[in-house]
Copies of this chain bind each other. A is one copy, B any other.
Amino acid sequence: MMAGRTFGSDNHAGVHPAVLAAITAANSGDAVAYGDDDLTRAAVARLSAVAGARSGYLVFNGTGANMLALSLLLRPYEAVICAESSHLNVDECGAPERVLGCKLLAVPAPDGKLTPDRIADRLSGWGDEHRVQPRVVQIAQATELGTCYSLAELQQLRDFSRAHGLLTYLDGARIANAAAHLGCSLADLAAHADVLSFGGTKNGALGVEAVLVMTEGLDAGAPYHRKQLMQLASKMRFLAAQVDALLEGDRWLTTARHANAMASRLGTALAGVAGVRLAYPVQSNGVFTEVSRRLAHRLVQEWSIQEWSHTADGERSVVRWMTAFDTTAEEVASVVAGVRRAAGQSAATAEPWQR
Protein backbone atom coordinates (compact mmCIF):
# COMPACT_ATOMS: atom_id res chain seq x y z
CA MET A 1 0.00 0.00 0.00
CA MET A 2 1.10 3.58 0.41
CA ALA A 3 3.63 4.78 2.89
CA GLY A 4 1.46 7.27 4.71
CA ARG A 5 -1.70 9.20 5.09
CA THR A 6 -2.87 10.74 1.83
CA PHE A 7 -5.77 13.03 2.83
CA GLY A 8 -6.92 12.52 -0.75
CA SER A 9 -10.17 10.75 0.09
CA ASP A 10 -11.89 8.93 2.90
CA ASN A 11 -11.93 6.06 0.41
CA HIS A 12 -8.14 5.86 0.55
CA ALA A 13 -8.38 4.54 4.08
CA GLY A 14 -8.55 0.82 4.71
CA VAL A 15 -11.02 -1.23 6.70
CA HIS A 16 -11.69 -0.70 10.38
CA PRO A 17 -10.26 -3.68 12.31
CA ALA A 18 -13.62 -4.40 13.90
CA VAL A 19 -15.22 -4.57 10.48
CA LEU A 20 -12.58 -6.97 9.25
CA ALA A 21 -13.03 -9.05 12.36
CA ALA A 22 -16.75 -9.25 11.72
CA ILE A 23 -16.17 -10.38 8.14
CA THR A 24 -13.82 -13.05 9.41
CA ALA A 25 -16.31 -14.17 12.04
CA ALA A 26 -19.04 -14.43 9.41
CA ASN A 27 -16.92 -16.86 7.42
CA SER A 28 -18.11 -19.98 9.13
CA GLY A 29 -20.03 -22.67 7.31
CA ASP A 30 -22.62 -22.19 4.64
CA ALA A 31 -25.17 -19.42 4.47
CA VAL A 32 -27.94 -19.09 1.97
CA ALA A 33 -26.92 -16.67 -0.77
CA TYR A 34 -28.45 -13.35 -1.83
CA GLY A 35 -29.32 -12.24 1.69
CA ASP A 36 -31.69 -14.99 2.67
CA ASP A 37 -29.61 -15.75 5.76
CA ASP A 38 -29.90 -14.94 9.44
CA LEU A 39 -26.95 -12.58 9.64
CA THR A 40 -28.29 -10.41 6.84
CA ARG A 41 -31.80 -10.40 8.23
CA ALA A 42 -30.50 -9.38 11.63
CA ALA A 43 -28.16 -6.66 10.41
CA VAL A 44 -30.77 -5.10 8.16
CA ALA A 45 -33.36 -5.23 10.92
CA ARG A 46 -30.92 -3.63 13.32
CA LEU A 47 -30.02 -0.82 10.93
CA SER A 48 -33.65 -0.23 10.06
CA ALA A 49 -34.51 -0.01 13.74
CA VAL A 50 -31.76 2.52 14.38
CA ALA A 51 -32.96 4.66 11.48
CA GLY A 52 -36.64 4.12 12.08
CA ALA A 53 -36.94 2.73 8.58
CA ARG A 54 -39.57 0.38 7.19
CA SER A 55 -37.08 -1.67 5.23
CA GLY A 56 -33.47 -1.72 4.15
CA TYR A 57 -31.42 -3.03 1.25
CA LEU A 58 -27.67 -3.54 1.27
CA VAL A 59 -25.74 -2.63 -1.86
CA PHE A 60 -22.14 -2.50 -3.00
CA ASN A 61 -21.35 1.17 -3.35
CA GLY A 62 -22.58 4.72 -3.33
CA THR A 63 -23.53 4.88 -6.98
CA GLY A 64 -25.55 1.72 -6.49
CA ALA A 65 -27.28 3.18 -3.45
CA ASN A 66 -28.15 6.38 -5.31
CA MET A 67 -29.53 4.52 -8.29
CA LEU A 68 -31.55 2.03 -6.26
CA ALA A 69 -32.98 4.78 -4.04
CA LEU A 70 -34.03 6.94 -6.96
CA SER A 71 -35.49 3.95 -8.81
CA LEU A 72 -37.98 3.64 -5.98
CA LEU A 73 -39.09 7.23 -6.33
CA LEU A 74 -39.27 8.08 -10.01
CA ARG A 75 -41.38 7.45 -13.05
CA PRO A 76 -39.66 7.93 -16.43
CA TYR A 77 -40.78 11.51 -16.94
CA GLU A 78 -39.97 12.70 -13.46
CA ALA A 79 -36.88 14.64 -12.47
CA VAL A 80 -34.57 15.10 -9.52
CA ILE A 81 -33.70 18.51 -8.14
CA CYS A 82 -30.17 18.52 -6.78
CA ALA A 83 -27.26 20.85 -6.14
CA GLU A 84 -25.05 21.55 -9.13
CA SER A 85 -22.04 20.51 -7.06
CA SER A 86 -23.63 17.26 -5.87
CA HIS A 87 -21.89 13.95 -6.35
CA LEU A 88 -25.03 12.75 -8.13
CA ASN A 89 -24.71 15.46 -10.74
CA VAL A 90 -20.95 15.59 -11.15
CA ASP A 91 -19.33 12.32 -10.20
CA GLU A 92 -21.59 9.46 -11.24
CA CYS A 93 -20.49 9.53 -14.89
CA GLY A 94 -24.07 10.09 -15.94
CA ALA A 95 -25.39 6.98 -14.21
CA PRO A 96 -28.71 8.67 -13.32
CA GLU A 97 -29.27 9.53 -16.96
CA ARG A 98 -28.18 6.16 -18.34
CA VAL A 99 -29.55 3.84 -15.70
CA LEU A 100 -32.65 5.71 -14.59
CA GLY A 101 -33.25 7.71 -17.75
CA CYS A 102 -34.04 10.69 -15.57
CA LYS A 103 -33.11 14.32 -15.89
CA LEU A 104 -31.35 16.09 -13.05
CA LEU A 105 -32.47 19.65 -12.49
CA ALA A 106 -29.25 21.00 -11.05
CA VAL A 107 -29.41 24.09 -8.91
CA PRO A 108 -26.53 26.46 -8.20
CA ALA A 109 -25.75 26.15 -4.49
CA PRO A 110 -22.58 27.98 -3.47
CA ASP A 111 -22.24 26.06 -0.22
CA GLY A 112 -23.55 22.78 -1.61
CA LYS A 113 -26.90 23.15 0.13
CA LEU A 114 -30.34 23.45 -1.37
CA THR A 115 -32.86 25.91 0.00
CA PRO A 116 -36.59 26.20 -0.62
CA ASP A 117 -35.92 29.22 -2.83
CA ARG A 118 -33.36 27.40 -4.91
CA ILE A 119 -35.73 24.49 -5.33
CA ALA A 120 -38.61 26.78 -6.19
CA ASP A 121 -36.63 28.10 -9.15
CA ARG A 122 -36.86 24.65 -10.72
CA LEU A 123 -40.57 24.08 -10.24
CA SER A 124 -41.81 25.86 -13.32
CA GLY A 125 -43.24 23.63 -15.98
CA TRP A 126 -45.64 21.72 -13.75
CA GLY A 127 -48.29 20.12 -15.89
CA ASP A 128 -46.57 21.10 -19.13
CA GLU A 129 -46.07 17.95 -21.18
CA HIS A 130 -42.93 19.43 -22.76
CA ARG A 131 -41.15 19.57 -19.42
CA VAL A 132 -39.92 16.88 -17.06
CA GLN A 133 -41.93 16.90 -13.88
CA PRO A 134 -39.94 17.58 -10.69
CA ARG A 135 -40.55 14.76 -8.24
CA VAL A 136 -37.56 14.23 -5.97
CA VAL A 137 -35.39 16.62 -4.00
CA GLN A 138 -31.98 15.09 -3.48
CA ILE A 139 -30.18 16.27 -0.39
CA ALA A 140 -26.68 15.13 0.45
CA GLN A 141 -26.00 15.12 4.16
CA ALA A 142 -23.12 15.88 4.53
CA THR A 143 -22.84 17.68 1.19
CA GLU A 144 -20.10 17.20 -1.36
CA LEU A 145 -18.54 20.41 -0.03
CA GLY A 146 -18.35 19.12 3.50
CA THR A 147 -21.19 21.26 4.79
CA CYS A 148 -24.19 20.00 6.75
CA TYR A 149 -27.83 20.98 6.86
CA SER A 150 -29.05 21.77 10.36
CA LEU A 151 -32.08 19.83 11.55
CA ALA A 152 -34.07 23.03 11.20
CA GLU A 153 -32.96 23.41 7.60
CA LEU A 154 -33.89 19.80 6.89
CA GLN A 155 -37.31 20.38 8.41
CA GLN A 156 -37.80 23.48 6.32
CA LEU A 157 -36.87 21.62 3.14
CA ARG A 158 -39.12 18.75 4.10
CA ASP A 159 -42.07 21.01 4.72
CA PHE A 160 -41.50 22.82 1.47
CA SER A 161 -41.15 19.58 -0.47
CA ARG A 162 -44.28 18.05 0.98
CA ALA A 163 -46.22 21.20 0.27
CA HIS A 164 -45.17 20.89 -3.37
CA GLY A 165 -45.69 17.16 -3.79
CA LEU A 166 -41.98 16.41 -3.84
CA LEU A 167 -40.32 13.37 -2.31
CA THR A 168 -37.00 13.62 -0.47
CA TYR A 169 -34.00 11.43 -1.09
CA LEU A 170 -31.20 11.92 1.41
CA ASP A 171 -27.84 10.81 0.03
CA GLY A 172 -26.12 9.63 3.17
CA ALA A 173 -22.75 8.53 1.85
CA ARG A 174 -21.41 10.59 4.78
CA ILE A 175 -24.48 10.61 6.96
CA ALA A 176 -22.41 9.42 9.90
CA ASN A 177 -20.25 12.51 9.69
CA ALA A 178 -23.38 14.65 9.59
CA ALA A 179 -24.89 12.94 12.62
CA ALA A 180 -21.60 13.35 14.46
CA HIS A 181 -21.44 17.02 13.54
CA LEU A 182 -25.02 17.74 14.54
CA GLY A 183 -24.94 15.55 17.62
CA CYS A 184 -28.12 13.87 16.52
CA SER A 185 -29.23 10.31 15.88
CA LEU A 186 -29.57 8.53 12.58
CA ALA A 187 -33.30 8.52 13.11
CA ASP A 188 -33.28 12.32 13.53
CA LEU A 189 -31.85 12.64 10.04
CA ALA A 190 -33.80 9.81 8.45
CA ALA A 191 -37.07 11.30 9.63
CA HIS A 192 -36.64 14.05 7.05
CA ALA A 193 -36.42 11.69 4.09
CA ASP A 194 -38.69 9.35 2.17
CA VAL A 195 -35.69 7.24 1.23
CA LEU A 196 -32.09 7.64 2.34
CA SER A 197 -28.78 5.91 1.94
CA PHE A 198 -26.51 4.99 4.81
CA GLY A 199 -22.85 5.00 3.85
CA GLY A 200 -20.47 2.49 5.32
CA THR A 201 -17.56 2.50 2.91
CA LYS A 202 -16.24 5.99 3.64
CA ASN A 203 -16.61 5.27 7.34
CA GLY A 204 -14.49 2.18 7.88
CA ALA A 205 -16.29 -0.54 5.93
CA LEU A 206 -14.66 -2.59 3.20
CA GLY A 207 -17.57 -1.81 0.94
CA VAL A 208 -21.23 -1.59 1.87
CA GLU A 209 -24.02 0.96 1.68
CA ALA A 210 -27.67 0.63 2.61
CA VAL A 211 -30.82 2.04 1.09
CA LEU A 212 -33.43 2.71 3.77
CA VAL A 213 -37.09 3.28 3.01
CA MET A 214 -39.04 5.48 5.42
CA THR A 215 -42.33 5.97 3.64
CA GLU A 216 -45.01 3.38 3.12
CA GLY A 217 -45.53 2.11 -0.39
CA LEU A 218 -42.14 2.99 -1.79
CA ASP A 219 -40.36 -0.31 -1.34
CA ALA A 220 -42.63 -2.70 -3.20
CA GLY A 221 -40.24 -3.31 -6.07
CA ALA A 222 -36.96 -2.77 -4.25
CA PRO A 223 -35.61 -6.35 -4.45
CA TYR A 224 -36.13 -6.45 -8.21
CA HIS A 225 -34.60 -3.02 -8.74
CA ARG A 226 -31.56 -4.05 -6.68
CA LYS A 227 -31.05 -7.19 -8.73
CA GLN A 228 -31.48 -5.38 -12.06
CA LEU A 229 -29.13 -2.66 -10.94
CA MET A 230 -26.40 -5.24 -10.31
CA GLN A 231 -26.38 -4.59 -6.57
CA LEU A 232 -27.47 -7.96 -5.22
CA ALA A 233 -24.46 -9.54 -3.51
CA SER A 234 -24.15 -13.32 -3.77
CA LYS A 235 -22.50 -13.75 -0.41
CA MET A 236 -24.55 -11.05 1.27
CA ARG A 237 -23.60 -12.08 4.77
CA PHE A 238 -20.24 -10.37 4.29
CA LEU A 239 -21.94 -7.07 3.57
CA ALA A 240 -24.23 -7.61 6.52
CA ALA A 241 -21.30 -8.34 8.82
CA GLN A 242 -19.84 -4.95 7.99
CA VAL A 243 -23.07 -3.17 8.83
CA ASP A 244 -23.25 -5.10 12.05
CA ALA A 245 -19.75 -4.11 13.05
CA LEU A 246 -20.50 -0.45 12.33
CA LEU A 247 -23.65 -0.53 14.43
CA GLU A 248 -22.01 -2.38 17.33
CA GLY A 249 -21.58 0.10 20.17
CA ASP A 250 -22.41 2.97 17.81
CA ARG A 251 -19.09 2.46 16.10
CA TRP A 252 -20.40 4.24 12.96
CA LEU A 253 -20.80 7.35 15.09
CA THR A 254 -17.54 7.03 17.00
CA THR A 255 -15.49 6.65 13.85
CA ALA A 256 -17.24 9.59 12.22
CA ARG A 257 -16.75 11.74 15.30
CA HIS A 258 -13.07 11.00 15.19
CA ALA A 259 -12.77 11.81 11.50
CA ASN A 260 -14.68 15.04 12.03
CA ALA A 261 -12.45 16.01 14.95
CA MET A 262 -9.37 15.48 12.83
CA ALA A 263 -10.90 17.58 10.05
CA SER A 264 -11.74 20.30 12.47
CA ARG A 265 -8.21 20.31 13.81
CA LEU A 266 -6.82 20.34 10.28
CA GLY A 267 -9.13 23.13 9.17
CA THR A 268 -8.32 25.33 12.11
CA ALA A 269 -4.61 24.86 11.59
CA LEU A 270 -4.68 25.39 7.84
CA ALA A 271 -6.77 28.52 8.19
CA GLY A 272 -3.90 29.94 10.17
CA VAL A 273 -1.38 29.39 7.40
CA ALA A 274 -0.58 32.45 5.33
CA GLY A 275 -1.95 32.09 1.81
CA VAL A 276 -4.59 29.58 2.85
CA ARG A 277 -8.20 30.17 3.76
CA LEU A 278 -11.21 27.93 4.26
CA ALA A 279 -13.55 27.85 1.31
CA TYR A 280 -16.44 26.41 3.36
CA PRO A 281 -17.03 25.87 7.04
CA VAL A 282 -15.72 22.52 8.27
CA GLN A 283 -18.83 20.55 9.26
CA SER A 284 -17.84 16.97 8.55
CA ASN A 285 -14.63 15.19 7.58
CA GLY A 286 -13.76 17.39 4.62
CA VAL A 287 -11.66 20.54 4.61
CA PHE A 288 -11.77 22.75 1.55
CA THR A 289 -9.04 25.37 1.34
CA GLU A 290 -8.57 28.13 -1.16
CA VAL A 291 -4.96 28.67 -2.18
CA SER A 292 -3.00 30.05 -5.09
CA ARG A 293 -2.88 27.76 -8.11
CA ARG A 294 0.84 27.45 -7.69
CA LEU A 295 0.48 26.23 -4.15
CA ALA A 296 -2.44 24.02 -5.13
CA HIS A 297 -0.33 22.33 -7.75
CA ARG A 298 2.34 21.58 -5.21
CA LEU A 299 -0.07 20.27 -2.58
CA VAL A 300 -1.82 17.99 -5.06
CA GLN A 301 1.53 16.45 -5.95
CA GLU A 302 2.63 15.98 -2.41
CA TRP A 303 -0.52 14.78 -0.67
CA SER A 304 -2.56 13.04 -3.36
CA ILE A 305 -5.38 15.47 -2.69
CA GLN A 306 -7.80 16.79 -5.28
CA GLU A 307 -7.96 20.19 -6.87
CA TRP A 308 -11.67 20.75 -6.50
CA SER A 309 -12.47 23.95 -8.33
CA HIS A 310 -11.11 27.28 -9.37
CA THR A 311 -12.15 30.77 -8.46
CA ALA A 312 -13.93 32.59 -11.24
CA ASP A 313 -10.86 34.62 -12.12
CA GLY A 314 -8.92 31.38 -12.51
CA GLU A 315 -6.16 32.55 -10.21
CA ARG A 316 -6.89 30.48 -7.17
CA SER A 317 -7.92 26.91 -6.51
CA VAL A 318 -9.92 25.10 -3.90
CA VAL A 319 -8.25 21.90 -2.78
CA ARG A 320 -9.95 19.21 -0.71
CA TRP A 321 -8.54 17.42 2.31
CA MET A 322 -10.38 14.41 3.68
CA THR A 323 -9.86 12.74 7.01
CA ALA A 324 -10.88 9.20 7.88
CA PHE A 325 -11.70 7.01 10.83
CA ASP A 326 -8.00 6.27 11.30
CA THR A 327 -6.44 9.68 10.73
CA THR A 328 -4.16 10.58 13.65
CA ALA A 329 -3.35 13.90 15.25
CA GLU A 330 0.26 13.35 14.29
CA GLU A 331 -0.67 12.97 10.65
CA VAL A 332 -2.65 16.16 10.83
CA ALA A 333 0.26 17.98 12.44
CA SER A 334 2.55 16.63 9.77
CA VAL A 335 0.39 17.80 6.90
CA VAL A 336 -0.08 21.21 8.46
CA ALA A 337 3.65 21.61 8.81
CA GLY A 338 4.07 20.54 5.22
CA VAL A 339 1.50 23.02 3.97
CA ARG A 340 3.08 25.78 6.00
CA ARG A 341 6.41 24.97 4.44
CA ALA A 342 5.02 24.80 0.93
CA ALA A 343 2.97 27.95 1.39
CA GLY A 344 6.00 29.84 2.62
CA GLN A 345 7.82 28.92 -0.53
CA SER A 346 4.90 29.40 -2.88
CA ALA A 347 3.45 32.63 -1.62
CA ALA A 348 5.45 35.66 -2.60
CA THR A 349 2.69 38.16 -2.24
CA ALA A 350 -0.21 38.69 0.09
CA GLU A 351 -3.49 36.97 -0.76
CA PRO A 352 -6.41 39.07 -1.98
CA TRP A 353 -8.15 39.03 1.38
CA GLN A 354 -4.97 39.87 3.21
CA ARG A 355 -4.09 42.93 1.25
Residues of A within 8 A of B (CB): 1-6, 8-9, 11-15, 20, 23-24, 26-34, 37-39, 60-64, 67, 71, 75-77, 79, 90-95, 97-99, 101-104, 129-133, 201-202, 206-207, 221, 223-235, 237-238, 304
Contacts and interface: CB of A to CB of B under 8 A. Distances in A.
A318 to B, nearest CB: 13
Given A23-B20, A30-B4, A101-B98, A93 B9 contact: no
A23 to B, nearest CB: 7
Contact of A102 (B97, B237, B304): B97
A29 B3 CA distance: 7
B23 A1 contact: no
A327 to B, nearest CB: 10
A22 to B, nearest CB: 12
A79 B96 CA distance: 13
A129 B235 contact: no
Contacts of A77: 93-94, 98, 221, 224-225, 227-228
Give the oligomeric copy count: 4
Given A76-B228, A228-B77, A93 B2 contact: no
Contact of A28 (B14, B62, B67): B14
Contact of A62 (B3, B223, B234, B304): B234
Contact of A129 (B11, B60, B202, B223): B223
Given A94-B228, A129-B223, A230-B67, A14 B1 contact: no
Contacts of A129: 34, 93, 223-224, 226-227, 232
Contacts of A202: 234
